[in-house]
């Protein structure tokens, strides 16, 4: 397997939520959705392709000429290769520990009730 030179990717792959005028104009090259949630990140891979056109909610015809992927597609693809968002996993672990603590307290109370 060839090792990739990650420096070249850093120059090419960028966050692409807004154009130079601050206008959100991206459609995902995979799911073709234009998600208007400002929290959603789009990534421009710096590669061109002919993805056709999509009409925005404002009726503007937008060409999909760049490989830009939305956060949801990136996260799904990452999971396919074993990468997970550690923030989400850490939150899930904390939630499960909190729930486990509650359940252990209930079990302890139930055991105590059985003895009396």
Q: Return residues touching Zn ion (CB under 5 A).
A: 28, 30-31, 70, 73
Contacts of 24 (CB under 8 A, 6+ apart): 17, 18, 34, 36
Task: Please state the closest distance from residue 72 (CB atom) to Zn ion, in A.
Answer: 5
**Which CB atom, from 28 or from 64, has the smaller least distance to Zn ion?**
28
Contacts of 14 (CB under 8 A, 6+ apart): 43, 44, 46
Q: What is the DSSP letter of 32?
A: -
Give residue number: closest CB to Zn ion. 28
Per-residue tokens: 103 = 């359940």
Task: Please state the closest distance from residue 42 (CB atom) to Zn ion, in A.
Answer: 8
**Which CB atom, from 39 or from 111, has the smaller least distance to Zn ion?**
39
Task: Please state the closest distance from residue 112 (CB atom) to Zn ion, in A.
Answer: 52
């Amino acid at each position: 397997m060839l090792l990739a030179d990650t420096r070249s990717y850093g120059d090419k792959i960028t966050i692409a939520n807004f154009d130079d005028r601050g206008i959100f104009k991206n459609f995902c090259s995979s799911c073709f959705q234009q998600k208007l949630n400002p929290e959603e990140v789009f990534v421009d891979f710096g590669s061109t392709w002919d993805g056709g056109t999509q009409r925005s909610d404002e009726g503007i015809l937008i060409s999909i000429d760049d490989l830009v992927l939305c956060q949801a597609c990136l996260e799904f693809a990452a999971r396919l290769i074993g990468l997970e968002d550690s923030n989400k996993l850490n939150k899930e672990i904390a939630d499960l520990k909190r729930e486990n603590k509650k359940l252990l307290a209930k079990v302890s109370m139930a055991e105590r009730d059985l003895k009396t």
